[in-house]
């Protein structure tokens, strides 16, 4: 007999909980449910339309879920030429193939397209990713843009009222004309929605052709001097403080759980299979190697965050001129 939907029941969707435990994506978890591999409180379920809470006992192939890992967030400097996806049907390089192998399974907060670069937030918590993507969260995304053509500040100021392009309405955009450089101009843009290719489409409506797009901030998190391709973890204490209690509760964030690889629960067969496919990962109980411990995230909030293996170097504006100052978002 099919399960009834439990949309009104408190808790979270079963597939989301399985994905958060690190066993698989939500789509794969839904396929496991349809195949009869998942049971809740001893009863095999066949529909993902089920909400569960911490009191429910969930098993996959008869094995309990691993303990939930701590919510973590990373700043990543996405280079051009990478797509923001785990796999690409066209065979293009992805950001997740380029990331260091010792990191946990991560998902992106929003996306940057193939030819865009700059700050991309990554997290191991799907609930946090969705909360930070919502326009209702109101976080300002800031971009530095180089575009071919000319435009006046007056025309840019009109974007504050919003604009409709090809039947799609885009909300208020803060735009500043910074300087001219040959046939190009440099702009700074701030927006809160982040719809698909929004910056490119809006500026094209103004007669501009974007040839470089760099995201320099996502809400309170900034690109700073992070090198191309580098990744750096946000400390747990800083993340907790930045999110605040309301947003953390909305995302169901967990700042007290163990780091991945420190969970005391036995390793699930799906986790072992995943580790076999990705031998560079640090998962499961027991003592990690000395090399792995050097790369592991801090055990408490007072230590330094995980940093990439790449050495930092002085970063300059690639246009040859002095590096422009990025204006702070308006409060």
Q: What residues are annotated to the active site?
A: 113
123 pairs with which residues across the strands? Answer: 73, 107
């Amino acid at each position: 007999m099919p399960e009834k939907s439990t949309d009104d029941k408190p808790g979270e969707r079963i597939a989301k909980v399985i994905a958060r435990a690190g066993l698989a994506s939500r789509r794969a978890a839904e396929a496991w449910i349809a195949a009869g591999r998942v049971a809740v409180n001893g009863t095999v379920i066949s529909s993902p339309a089920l909400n569960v809470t911490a009191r429910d006992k969930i098993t996959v192939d008869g094995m309990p879920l691993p303990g939930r890992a701590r919510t973590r967030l990373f700043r990543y400097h996405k280079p051009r030429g990478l797509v923001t996806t785990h796999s690409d049907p066209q065979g293009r390089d992805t950001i997740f193939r380029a990331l260091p192998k010792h990191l946990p399974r991560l998902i992106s907060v929003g996306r940057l397209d193939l030819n865009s670069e700059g700050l991309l937030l990554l997290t191991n918590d799907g609930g946090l990713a969705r909360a930070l993507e919502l326009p209702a969260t109101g976080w300002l995304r800031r971009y530095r843009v180089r575009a071919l053509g000319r435009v006046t500040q007056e025309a840019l100021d009109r974007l504050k009222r919003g604009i409709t392009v090809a039947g799609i309405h885009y909300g208020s955009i803060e735009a500043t004309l910074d300087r001219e450089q040959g046939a190009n101009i440099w702009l700074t843009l701030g927006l809160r929605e982040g719809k698909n290719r929004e910056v490119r489409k809006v500026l094209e409506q103004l007669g501009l052709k974007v040839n470089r797009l760099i995201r320099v901030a996502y809400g309170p998190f900034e690109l700073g001097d992070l090198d191309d391709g580098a990744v750096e973890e946000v400390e747990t204490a800083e993340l907790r403080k930045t999110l605040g209690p309301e947003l953390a509760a909305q995302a169901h964030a967990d700042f007290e759980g163990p780091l991945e690889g420190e969970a005391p629960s036995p390793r699930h067969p799906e986790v072992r299979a995943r580790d076999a496919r990705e031998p560079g990962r640090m998962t499961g109980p027991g003592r990690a190697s000395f090399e792995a411990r050097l790369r592991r995230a801090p055990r408490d909030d007072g230590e330094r965050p995980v940093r990439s293996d790449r050495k930092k170097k002085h970063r300059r504006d690639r246009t040859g001129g002095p590096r422009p100052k990025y204006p702070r978002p308006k409060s």
